[in-house]
Amino acid sequence: MLGRQSDSVPGQMRGGRRIAVCGWPLLVGLPLIAILLSIVGCGGDDSPRVSLQGVVRVNGDPAERMLVQLHYQGPSESAGESLEVEGNDKYPSGLTDQAGQFRVANGAATGVLPGRYAVTFTWLSSDGLDARDKFDGRYADAERTEHFLDVPRDVVESVQFELTTP
């Protein structure tokens, strides 16, 4: 009978629809999806990332909750050959801890690609969504920044930024 659950058998027609609990689409489809994801998008790339960390101080004191954002400008003289930099790799960032220390990443990958970067700073007033920039945008414009960083192909041990409040 069509209305009773107990008579349902996987693969049997019921109410004009086929009921498939487990069949070849599931058995073939899931492994195929896993293989495609491992080949196409979930792996890393061969880009020569450089570990970048540092400290931000404001008026000599460590600055907590400082968003440090890099804006790719092009290849640096020390980086040698030019790399194709696109997507999130153009804007890696880091957030400082209580000691003013940060480590730069681009979301999925830690480190940055070699090149020349403009550096901007946004000093967050709190951890909440209502946080504001304590600098009122003074250091947040990549077009007007005075802070630049040349990232070579080898390891950059640590960078330091000293900012002041008006």
pLDDT at 108: 75
The answer to whether 152 and 132 have CB atoms below 8 angstroms apart is no
The answer to whether 93 and 59 have CB atoms below 8 angstroms apart is no
Q: Average per-residue pLDDT in the chain? A: 79
DSSP letters, 36-82, are: HHHHHTSS------B--EEEEEETTEE-TTEEEEEEEEE--GGG-S-
pLDDT at 43: 42
Q: Is the confidence at residue 12, as pLDDT, over 60? A: no
Q: Is the confidence at residue 141, as pLDDT, over 70? A: yes
Q: Is the confidence at residue 166, as pLDDT, over 80? A: no
The answer to whether 126 and 69 have CB atoms below 8 angstroms apart is no
Average pLDDT over every residue of 17-38:
49
pLDDT at 37: 46
Q: Is the confidence at residue 63, as pLDDT, over 70? A: yes
pLDDT at 24: 44
